[in-house]
Amino acid sequence: MVLILGSLCITGIGLYQLGGWGELREISGSARFNLWRPLSDPEFPWAGMLFAAPIVGLWYWCTDQYIVQRTLAARNLKIARRGTLFGAYLKITPVFLFIIPGMIAYALVQKNMLQMDSPDQAFPAMVSQLLPSGLRGLVVAGLLAALMSSLSSLFNSCSTLFTVDIYKKIKPAASEREMVAVGRAATFVVVGLGLLWIPAMQRVSGALYEYLQSVQAYLAPPMTAVFFLGVFWKRVNGTGAVVTLLSGFVLGLLKLGCQVYAGQYSLEQAAILPALQQMFIAYGNINFLIFCVVLFAYCCFTLILFSLLTPPPEAARIENLCYATNTAAGRREVRESWNRWDVIHTVIVLLIIVSVYLYFTG
């Protein structure tokens, strides 16, 4: 909450220093207020923005351990749903926490009212140069608290996934003490790998936020395809899911590797490389949003194909796991878990999202 209030203060103070919203639009230009850019746009083509965002969103909100472990901790289905709806409201705030303050920072730099060396410094530069001392300390403390909380949840998720889904399967007789030790070791390895990967991040993108979006666009499609089709189509089976997840992950990882490789060459240098290297560079330079959509289509096709070529899952194993196998008792439980207020808030969230898309049209 401190971070949200601090960011809103940054937005308000920044707009005041700048001269208002109209001044921000004038300095930024219509291009920076446009989410619907041409398909030829090298960074954010409209098709990628429209179709890739739901793919990444479904992955994050429905399958990511970071969210799932919180949802499963709810007392019942009603609390889980309403907690998710509240989270949806909070997820809208990054527009005001990151995007608009970033645009304000750009405009302030253009007017020589803010000093920073790279886009990643926009938020700390605004905190240090615009906020008064007391509020500045609160925002920094809130930012550090949010960062530590997020990292703690991330490390806990990684540790749980490795110990329960991998180590416990390999060594079922492992004691609790041993599981805790393995979990700590897994956390240490994850932290080490993360630190080693930092130099490669700059070759993927010059901006941290864009790097994060790129990586998510490469990881999300296989899991989104399996989850989405698995919920709506009872014919999806384990073989199709495994083939889809593995092949999609390999293609996404290959894209990331090629992008890192391509980042060390300029266009002139790449033009004189052997054909095979040029092919890798071309693959790495595919727009990350377009790649996300194409990879999702491939994963859906692969999942359907291999599911149809192999035996269907047993009916008892998928009972209440998809719409087609939902029992009367399951449908009744779901129906009793929501009322008109859940529908109203869902509609409100959707209207806010649509409004943002419609407003930022240049």
Average pLDDT in the 265-290 region?
A: 83
Q: Taking 90 as the threshold, does the pLDDT of residue 112 lie above it?
A: no
Residue 303 — very low, low, confident or very high, per pLDDT cuts 50/70/90? very high
Distance CA 117, CA 122 (A): 9
Are 275 and 224 in contact by the 8 Å Cβ rule? The answer is no
Residue 203 — very low, low, confident or very high, per pLDDT cuts 50/70/90? low
* Closest-CA residue to 62 (of 52, 71, 73): 71
Average pLDDT, the chain: 85
- Tell whether pTM > 0.85: no
Are 215 and 204 in contact by the 8 Å Cβ rule? The answer is yes
Cα angle vertex 147, ends 185, 142, to 5°? 145
Are 295 and 276 in contact by the 8 Å Cβ rule? The answer is no
Cβ burial 186-204 (10 Å sphere, 16+ → b, else e):
bbeebeeeeeeeeeebebb
Exposed / middle / buried, residue 290 (Cβ in 10 Å: 0-12, 13-18, 19+): middle
Distance CA 362, CA 358 (A): 10
Distance CA 297, CA 292 (A): 9
Q: Taking 80 as the threshold, does the pLDDT of residue 154 lie above it?
A: no
* Closest-CA residue to 36 (of 26, 25, 49, 55): 49
254-272 pLDDT tens trace: 998 888 888 777 777 777 7
User: According to the model, what pLDDT value does residue 296 have?
Assistant: 96
3-state secondary structure of 285: coil
Q: Taking 80 as the threshold, does the pLDDT of residue 147 lie above it?
A: no
